[in-house]
Structure 1
Amino acid sequence: MKKTLKRIALILVATPFVLAALAAIVYFTYALLAVGGESTQHQAYLKKHMQEVGIGANKFEIFDDAFYNSKVIMLGEVHGFAMPQQLDFELLKHLNQKTGLTHYLAEVDQSQAYFLNQYLATGDEKLLDYVYQTWVGMNLQWANRDSYNKMKKIYAYNQTLTAAKRITIVGVDRIHDTDVTKRHLAELLQTANYKPGSDAIVDSLNQLLTDSTTENETLRSFASNNLTADFNLPQTLKTDLQHIFTNLNYQHESIARDSVMFLNLKDLSYANDWQNEQFYGMWGLMHTLQNKVNGGYTSFAAHLKNNESPFKNKVTTINIMATDSENMIPAGMMPKSINKGQAYVNTTWVNSDGPMVFVNGIKDLKAVTKVNSMAIFKLDAENSPYKSSSLLANTSVLMPGQGGVKSDTENPTITEVCQYVVLIRNSKAATPIKALL
């Protein structure tokens, strides 16, 4: 009996260690397979089609005519790294100088873009603070000092340009914060010197905006009921109100976010005669994938590339991957044992070579780059092995609640979803903006 009890006790003591060892073996086997090995063929190609990016003057000789002829160019990032903000400004400045681009297509809604453009026009940092503080309140990764300082750099850069060449923000995202939309509506009416009694529907709107007890859903329902109203207003104000009403209705009807982005850019392009204009901006990575992924998810870029619009087949995307870097993650996404009540935590978990995110083929990018660098690679040049290879095409994610990226096509390639990739190495995490305001 004593021997039996000893064996049972031994098993009970040993079991957690055995399970932990088995879990470690399973994890490391999975990680090795998910990241994959190295390919001399792919590395030889990458060395011939890469460019390191510095801070300052960059000629970007890596880009071809197709890149500059694109109507929409999107830089896709995993939010929370610092380096992409630097790259974003360098690309924006380069395109402004090379092609005359003035439209920065931002992951913001129309009302946030309105206040950001007011800041760019006046330099009044209270307007910039107002927009970023809404993101602080929502605990979003956009609320970071690196992004904030980039906006200040855009303002400073604009001061060196003539008015016609200055950069403005185009906001096409689904409404982020209805309270910002309310303030936008009120300022539009005030700026236009709207006189009560000029239009019955606008009078009702004014009452809703001035009544502090108005619920956001009440405003959305009001907009939905007046989508086709023919306002007795100047044309510019009328167009702005109709566009905002349309977006309040998208919110009311729960239209898919990426669909809203596409519809907004298409509508704004026709309303402002932007069909022949070029747009550039940095977005969350998932919004920049040009083909359907994960069983039907259709990104903003996929809508632009494939749907009837001035931008069909005129989209170029650049997707950012990372190694050896830190990322600023909202603490709510992390286990309670790690977040310790903080708003954000810095982690290395979302690097493209693990420990929680794995891009198959990432070792080839790392093998041809230096530490503390940003390098752009062209993936679709003639004789590119990436056109027929699955390397870089799929991303596996082990973090709870976070999906990976798996193309819906049978034999996926990275060139189906983007034309260029960037590898950032040894990036610092973005810095939360709370310390700034």
Structure 2
Amino acid sequence: MKKKVYFLIMLFICIVVSIITFHKIHLYHTGYKCKKELYKMHSIIDVSDSTFEGLSLLNTDLHNNDIFLSGEKHGSVKSIQMNLYLLKYFVEKENIKYILYEGGYANAEYLNTYLDTGDESIIEYLFYKSTNTLSYTMENYDLLKEIYEYNLTLPKDKKLKFVGIDLETPSVAIKYIHSLIPDSMPNNEIVQEFIYSIKMISKGNYLTESKRSIELLNQGEKEIKEYLGGNFFSLSFALKNLSISDNQLSRENILIDNFMTLYEHLPKEKFFGQFGGAHTNLSILSESLASYLQNIYEPTKGKVISIEFDYVNSYTYVPNVPSLDINPTIYTSTSPDFFLKDKSTALIKLNYENSIYNEKDIFLNPNNPQTEYFQYLIMFSDSSGATRWSLLR
């Protein structure tokens, strides 16, 4: 009897071990197959390489596309470094002039003044007004300074311009709007009332007072436009954006509407922008900025390239928490097994000719084309979290 029980126990153990072993072998084989397929067309990126050899896989998509977006997890040092490297690449290889900016229109206009003047008090002011945000880091501050230095090297006809399409920072937008009011007093009564209303806008009443100003603007648009002259578009755009900048629930629609307005107002050029990954998903189901521009908005339809960032053993920045020791981990959205063992930063092209990713996702699941979400993937290992900004280094 004891021998029978012992035999049954051993048989059970053997079956369980076999199942577990088979499952592990199957997962390893599947993972190996996925990774081998994923790296069929890839390159290693060295952000110190001024020839951009590691980004050359992007070359085939430069001429036929107008919008280039990279999707990051905010607060990662390597993401911020890649932002600058990609910008330089797109400027050098495709003469891109517009930096699509995940910030308000007024913030972007102040940044353009900084690019023109090099006055660092401008970016110091903007950082003081962004204390509780993910951009409030030393690395983002240095990024702006590096963009300024790089812009100095460009000829006049290739100078860069920030294009802000996000919600306004109220205090920044109010200051910007006030700065556009001419010194001379208007003679027209409706213009006088409009200017008085503009001057009354403050951080405490900007929602109600900006809406009142917009009503006056609509009543006397011709006269107000004549009075403001070249400042009319910027003031009216910032004012309208300020009036809705408390509505986080409609943020994606605001990004889309602002982009379309500015796209149709600005001289026609190509754009590069680095946003949070949620905004750069091309899938029609995501209803993101990138999705709308790729699938619905006729002038940019089919002309958007999305580059997704993924991370392993990497960290992000948390506002108001200066200690790196408690910066949270960025979790990989693919698989830790997909990253290179030597921890190099890899660019992976998915939209090559006859690519399997036109039918399957990166886990090789059928009927889920990965290229409908993004066409490129950049894989980062061991990125530290950014550090809280301070003028005292």
TM-score (normalizing by structure 2): 0.83
Q: Displacement of 1:326 after TM fit?
A: 1.9
Q: Displacement of 1:392 after TM fit?
A: 6.0
Task: Kindly provide the amino acid, as one letter, of the partner of residue 122 in structure 1.
Answer: T
Contact kept, 8 Å, 2:201 with 2:209, in 1: the verdict is no
Q: 1:194 to 1:414 in 2, by over 3 A?
A: farther
Contact kept, 8 Å, 2:315 with 2:328, in 1: the verdict is yes
Q: 1:85 to 1:234 in 2, by over 3 A?
A: same
Q: Displacement of 1:49 after TM fit?
A: 1.2
Give percent identity, aligned residues only.
23
SS at match of 2:329: coil
What whole-Å deviation, never above 9, does each CA across 1:263-290 have from its counterpart, x for those lacking one? Answer: 112111222232xx10001100100001
From 67, 72, 77, the equivalent of 2:72 is: 77
Q: Displacement of 1:215 after TM fit?
A: 1.2
Look up the match of 1:414. Answer: 370
Look up the match of 1:216. Answer: 206
- Alpha-carbon distance between aligned partners in 1 of 2:66 and 2:94, rounded to the nearest angstrom: 11
Look up the match of 1:433. Answer: 389
What whole-Å deviation, never above 9, does each CA across 1:371-407 have from its counterpart, x for those lacking one? Answer: 2x3211101213433333333699xxxxxxxxxxxxx
- Alpha-carbon distance between aligned partners in 1 of 2:75 and 2:303, rounded to the nearest angstrom: 28
- Alpha-carbon distance between aligned partners in 2 of 1:213 and 1:104, rounded to the nearest angstrom: 28
Look up the match of 1:133. Answer: 128
Task: Kindly provide the amino acid, as one letter, of the partner of residue 248 in structure 1.
Answer: L
Contact kept, 8 Å, 1:208 with 1:214, in 2: the verdict is no
Q: Displacement of 1:224 after TM fit?
A: 4.2
SS at match of 1:247: helix
- Alpha-carbon distance between aligned partners in 2 of 1:393 and 1:202, rounded to the nearest angstrom: 65
Q: Displacement of 1:318 after TM fit?
A: 0.3
Q: Displacement of 1:128 after TM fit?
A: 0.6
What whole-Å deviation, never above 9, does each CA across 1:204-224 have from its counterpart, x for those lacking one? Answer: 444543576861222232244
Residue 320 in structure 1 maps to residue 309 in structure 2: yes
Task: Kindly provide the amino acid, as one letter, of the partner of residue 389 in structure 2.
Answer: I
- Alpha-carbon distance between aligned partners in 2 of 1:96 and 1:80, rounded to the nearest angstrom: 24
Contact kept, 8 Å, 2:198 with 2:210, in 1: the verdict is no
Residue 257 in structure 1 maps to residue 251 in structure 2: yes
From 357, 360, 375, the equivalent of 1:386 is: 357
Q: 1:386 to 1:346 in 2, by over 3 A?
A: farther
Look up the match of 1:149. Answer: 142
Contact kept, 8 Å, 1:188 with 1:237, in 2: the verdict is yes
- Alpha-carbon distance between aligned partners in 1 of 2:295 and 2:265, rounded to the nearest angstrom: 21
Look up the match of 1:6. Answer: none
From 266, 286, 291, the equivalent of 1:272 is: 266
What stretches of structure 1 of length at least 5 have no aligned partner? Answer: 1-28, 332-338, 353-358, 395-409
What stretches of structure 2 of length at least 5 have no aligned partner? Answer: 1-19
- Alpha-carbon distance between aligned partners in 2 of 1:47 and 1:272, rounded to the nearest angstrom: 39
Q: Which structure is higher in helix share?
A: 2
Look up the match of 2:17. Answer: none
Task: Kindly provide the amino acid, as one letter, of the partner of residue 374 in structure 2.
Answer: C
Q: Displacement of 1:110 after TM fit?
A: 0.4
Q: Displacement of 1:195 after TM fit?
A: 2.6
SS at match of 1:107: strand
Q: Displacement of 1:154 after TM fit?
A: 0.7
Contact kept, 8 Å, 1:324 with 1:348, in 2: the verdict is no
Look up the match of 1:351. Answer: 331
Q: Displacement of 1:345 after TM fit?
A: 6.6
Residue 305 in structure 1 maps to residue 275 in structure 2: no
- Alpha-carbon distance between aligned partners in 2 of 1:133 and 1:68, rounded to the nearest angstrom: 39
- Alpha-carbon distance between aligned partners in 2 of 1:211 and 1:419, rounded to the nearest angstrom: 44
- Alpha-carbon distance between aligned partners in 2 of 1:212 and 1:388, rounded to the nearest angstrom: 53
Q: 1:76 to 1:188 in 2, by over 3 A?
A: same
Contact kept, 8 Å, 1:116 with 1:128, in 2: the verdict is yes
Residue 122 in structure 1 maps to residue 111 in structure 2: no
Look up the match of 1:399. Answer: none
What whole-Å deviation, never above 9, does each CA across 1:61-102 have from its counterpart, x for those lacking one? Answer: 111422442111001001111001111111111111111111
- Alpha-carbon distance between aligned partners in 1 of 2:130 and 2:259, rounded to the nearest angstrom: 22
- Alpha-carbon distance between aligned partners in 2 of 1:330 and 1:303, rounded to the nearest angstrom: 30
> Number of residue pairs matched?
362
TM-score (normalizing by structure 1): 0.75
